[in-house]
Amino acid sequence: SFEVVAAASGKAVTVAGDESIVQALVRIGIDIPVSCEQGVCGTCLCTVLEGEPEHRDVYLTDEERADNDQILVCCSRARSARLVLDI
């Protein structure tokens, strides 16, 4: 598991191993718009302020992945214990 901090909302949630970031955020009242939920369409793109994403999408380019400042929250996870998102 890892923690996601929603910086703009001032809330945080722990993402369990069997759920997505999107599903965890719903529990604290934050609804991220999704479409494909498979990392393909880019609808759920969020800005990363701190932490290192574990990219599991096929939407970002290699260069965008390496920058660690964007994440597709329907399917990607975290390498760091904590991810701070601009949401």
| Cα gap 73→87, rounded to integer Å | 11
Beta strands in the chain (DSSP E): 2-6, 11-15, 45-50, 53-54, 70-72, 77-78, 82-85
74 binds ligand FES (CB under 6 A): yes
42 binds ligand FES (CB under 6 A): yes
Number of residues that bind ligand FES (CB under 6 A): 14
**Minimum distance from residue 14 beta carbon to ligand FES (Å):** 21
**Minimum distance from residue 26 beta carbon to ligand FES (Å):** 14
- Identify which of 52, 48, 46, 50 has the alpha carbon closest to the alpha carbon of residue 30: 46
Q: What is the number of the residue whose Cβ is closest to ligand FES?
A: 74
User: Where does this chain touch ligand FES (CB under 6 A) — which range of 11-19, 42-50, 63-71, 79-87?
Assistant: 42-50
